[in-house]
Chain A
Amino acid sequence: MAFKRLDPEDFVVSSDSVTSTVWSNNNPTLNTFFTSSVQKEGSSGPYYLSIYQTASADDTAAVQFQIAYANKLGGGGINFDPNVPNVSPTTTIYGQYRTLILEDENSNFIWGDTNTGSASNDFYAISIERARYKQSLMPGTLNLVLSSSNSQYEAIHLTDNSGMVTIPDYYGTQRVYQVISGSNGVANTLTNPQGYTVNSGSYGWFCPDISTILLNAVALSGSNQGDGGVGLKTDGGSNLNAQNPIKLYQAISGSRVDNASINTFDLNCQETISSDYIFIRARNTEFNYTENPSFISGSTGEVIYPYFINNPQTFPTTVGLYNDGNDLLAVAKLSRPIQKDFTKEALVRVKLDF
């Protein structure tokens, strides 16, 4: 008998979380930021701004993330139709995220406990490029430094609050962590125990499952001393191209100040890999002979050494996994042969990832 049936208890399903970096070239930190004038001036320009890790014309350039500005009342964007006020690309972006995250067209984004920011409930959305991450962003790994061109404002260090809460907030099916002042998922309690701004609630939302970071526009506009912002000067005026995403880009890249070295964007992603573990059990009486041609001498099938008649030795190197139809579906190689005879049993755990 060459095939042995597997019992139900030989199968174990296990899920493991695998983490990795987000940015290109496996960099955990992104500290160079570039835009593309082609994209900026193109049809997608009014909606979002693509950020690259190197000059966009470079062969290795790849989009790392996009910045969009959302405004419930259409502020900061030029209206699609002069006769229809308050409907611009920023409204589109707002409605997009409201549907996606809040799942309720009558709800507002609430930054922290109760704060809804400005009357237009505006925010910035940082959307990580799909090719950069595996399954979802990893809470606790967000470290984003924003700086201001105004010397009165110190750079702020933003993270999510995953290290401070046991269970995240949920909006519909969406897992949401608050974006706070701090690092590695924990607040800088010097300013506020929760890491929020003084008057504008949290700095935004970290939505790991849709790889999106929403930043509260009002919080970023506040002064550092007074409210923990960087004076971003978001312009929510109606029917104008305020180019707000560029303002956030400049704050992220540090291009608004002379010294950009402090500006970094750290982020990791994670993936849950389901593995089938299959336990291969070879009892002492099993698999002690082989059809290997070097095991026999001649064409009549006699074993090569008389010693093998009562003391056969085999050296399995490979595990083949079959279906009922004897199709070889998967195969596993051992790192070295294991000796098998009538006095030995073998137990091999085969891992099959999906």
Chain B
Amino acid sequence: MGYLNNAVITVDAILTTKGREALSRNDGSFQITQFALGDDEIDYTLYNPNHPSGSAYYGEAIDNMPLLEAFPSELQIMKYKLTTLPRGTAKLPVLDLGYAAITMKQGAQLSITPQTLNYLGNEQTFETSGYSAIIGDIRLLSTFVGQGIQSTAASNANANATVTIGTSVSKTIIGTQFNLTATTVNTLFGANRILRTTLTVTGLDSGARLTIPVTITKQSLTS
């Protein structure tokens, strides 16, 4: 006789800002269909494969660390996703967007074609499932469209991609190429000359992720 396995861990989930928005839209977009695991707070430099007490202690510094509670902002959590790769992988996939940062004038257009380095034995490749791109504040773009992926999920994500509810909420699109047009709305700027947000691109197959800053500069086009 022994004790039953109590290895099932139960955790309470909270809705993200995006989740609340999807729920309130009541258009079927609040439909959980997939999951990912993240390790946002883990510092792997604390892992010690040379621990004098042996392999059971390699992760000692990480195992019992206290964790922060969840943040509702979808941009501040699940930053670093765990990925499934073949055993023996020495190099992890890395994204190359061709830009380290984006600066656009009002009304300017830009196309981004992400590539993945070190994936499935290829030095440089386009992922079959494409990429997802999340703009932190959709109000800053008048066009934000993904191209190149024909799946239903991509079509749904790309439809109404630039519809804004007037507040700072993120938007996710899917594709192999992303087309951006900076907003022409002057009132968004207030007294500022520039607006800033972030663009996060994730490889849907590899899980590789890259975030770059996006800056829109005021040109006084329309109000």
Is this pair of chains taken from one and the same complex?
A: yes
- Interface residues of chain A, those whose CB is within 8 Å of chain B, are 1-6, 276, 278, 280, 282, 285-296, 299-305, 307, 309-310, 312-340, 342, 346-353
Residue of A nearest to B89 (CB): A289
Secondary structure dominating the interface of B: loop
Name A291's contact: one of B16, B83, B117 (CB within 8 Å): B83
Tell me the minimal C-beta distance from A273 to chain B in angstroms.
12
Given contacts A337-B42, A351-B10, contact A2 B82 (CB under 8 A): yes
Q: Is B31 interfacial (CB-CB < 8 Å)?
A: yes
Given contacts A285-B84, A289-B89, A315-B59, contact A323 B77 (CB under 8 A): no
Query: How many residues in B have their beta carbons less than 8 Å from beta carbons of A?
Result: 79
Q: Is B207 interfacial (CB-CB < 8 Å)?
A: yes
Q: Is B3 interfacial (CB-CB < 8 Å)?
A: no
28 A-B pairs whose Cβ atoms sit less than 8 Å apart in the complex: A1-B84, A2-B82, A2-B84, A2-B206, A2-B207, A3-B204, A4-B84, A276-B32, A288-B85, A290-B39, A290-B42, A296-B91, A304-B44, A317-B39, A318-B39, A320-B78, A322-B33, A323-B34, A326-B157, A327-B18, A327-B22, A327-B157, A328-B78, A333-B68, A335-B67, A337-B63, A340-B82, A352-B32
Tell me the minimal C-beta distance from B34 to chain A in angstroms.
5
Tell me the minimal C-beta distance from B152 to chain A in angstroms.
7
Whether A287 lies near B153 (C-beta < 8 A) is no
Q: Is B13 interfacial (CB-CB < 8 Å)?
A: yes
Name A305's contact: one of B47, B66, B84, B152 (CB within 8 Å): B47
A352 to B13 Cα, complex, angstroms: 5
Whether B87 lies near A342 (C-beta < 8 A) is yes
Whether A2 lies near B202 (C-beta < 8 A) is yes
Name B67's contact: one of A295, A299, A305, A336 (CB within 8 Å): A336
Whether A314 lies near B32 (C-beta < 8 A) is no
Tell me the minimal C-beta distance from A289 to chain B in angstroms.
5
